[in-house]
Amino acid sequence: MTSHPVFAAAAGTWLLGDLKVNRIGFGAMRLTGSGALHQGTPSDRGQAIGVLRRAVELGVNHIDTAAFYFSRLRLANELINSALAPYPDDLVIATKVGPFRDAAGEWTTPARPDQLRGQVEENLRQLGRDHLDVVNLRLMGQDSISEHFGALAEVRDAGLVRHLGISDARPEHLAEARAIAPVVCVQNRYSIDAPGEDEMLRACEELGIAFVPFFSIAGKGRMAGAARAEHDEVHAVARAHGVSPAQVRLAWILQKGAHVLAIPGTGDPDHLVDNVAAGALRLTEEELQLLDAIGPSDS
């Protein structure tokens, strides 16, 4: 048993449709490799499985993944299946469809609407499930998403998917999607140095939709990992609380609204505990204002 059973619940809970999750979750992308396009050297397989199991022990019940999270040696969905199946009753697994990567890991053209069911079925096969809790349509520059989201709505109606969301989307995409089927979450890039999502943040709050930021810790490092040079303001707040800069970044995200869910990812067991513990960190109004003033980076 873990000695920190309240970590993941410390920031409270939110409903993804009818599924209650703790606001601190886990992103599976970095389990397959730490480099850009997930092609870096992955962590030891046993360690990756241990991190997933430890996350659940710490109260994490929301895991974000995708079939296109893979490297030469690791497949995120297979790791999740191996580590956690048979799955706990309260575990919510969210995945994404839309992008294609070939066998070499290179991004190719986005899926056509008629190919999305196949992508859903591939996630089902890899995860060993008969339905997916949440599927996000990951946009790849589309102006209109009606055909793609409509195709996913049909897959949901067929019973393969419980809830739908969108990712890397604009407010007009959210309106377009909601005219077709209910949307339970929006996944967009958002961090201290990549804020720029206030309109979507507010829209989700008003509609009771979860806002799920990605690259919250990585910031301007994005897929390559955390930025090497952290902002002085983040360091100052971290020192004041005796915590890590990563925890400050996550606490800032979580204090943007009760509807904001964090999905930090790591293959390091110590970083996992650090990330989950951020749910208990409360920043002052002055600290929040200091961090807000950092603004967007140039990258």
Is residue 214's pLDDT more than 50?
Answer: yes
Average pLDDT over residues 74-80: 95
pLDDT score recorded for residue 104: 73
Token reading at 222: 């994005």
- For a pLDDT cut of 70, what percent of the chain falls above it? 90
For residue 142, is it within any domain?
Answer: yes
For residue 5, is it within any domain?
Answer: no
Contacts of 178 (CB under 8 A, 6+ apart): 207
pLDDT score recorded for residue 226: 53
> Measured in Å, how far apart are the chain's first and last C-alpha atoms?
42
User: Cα–Cα distance between 200 and 37 in angstroms, integer?
Assistant: 26
For residue 60, is it within any domain?
Answer: yes
User: Cα–Cα distance between 283 and 299 in angstroms, integer?
Assistant: 26
Is residue 298's pLDDT more than 80?
Answer: no
Do 219 and 246 touch, CB atoms closer than 8 A? no
Domain CATH for 103:
3.20.20.100
Is residue 219's pLDDT more than 60?
Answer: no
Average pLDDT over residues 215-235: 72
For residue 65, is it within any domain?
Answer: yes
Please count the structural domains in the chain.
1
Q: pLDDT class for 141, splitting at 50, 70, 90?
A: confident
Q: Which of 14, 69, 70, 190 is catalytic?
A: 69
For residue 297, is it within any domain?
Answer: no
For residue 133, is it within any domain?
Answer: yes
Model pLDDT for residues 281-291, shown as the tens digit of each residue:
999 999 999 99
Model pLDDT for residues 21-67, shown as the tens digit of each residue:
999 999 999 898 744 444 556 668 999 999 999 999 999 999 999 99
pLDDT score recorded for residue 194: 87
Tokens 């997916």, residue?
132
pLDDT score recorded for residue 24: 97
The domain in which residue 34 lies consists of 13-292
For residue 299, is it within any domain?
Answer: no
pLDDT score recorded for residue 108: 80
The whole-chain average pLDDT of the chain stands at 90
Is residue 224's pLDDT more than 60?
Answer: no
Is residue 296's pLDDT more than 90?
Answer: no
Contacts of 290 (CB under 8 A, 6+ apart): 233, 236, 237
pLDDT score recorded for residue 233: 97
pLDDT score recorded for residue 251: 97
Q: Exposure of 213 by Cβ count < 10 A (0-12 exposed, 13-18 middle, 19+ buried)?
A: buried
Model pLDDT for residues 98-140, shown as the tens digit of each residue:
998 877 777 788 899 999 999 999 999 999 999 999 999 999 9
Bridge partners of 24, per DSSP, are 262
Measured from the Cβ of residue 229, the count of other Cβ atoms closer than 10 Å reads 7
Catalytic site includes residue 69: yes
For residue 8, is it within any domain?
Answer: no
C-alpha dist (Å) from residue 24 to 55, 56, 155, 206: 10, 11, 28, 21
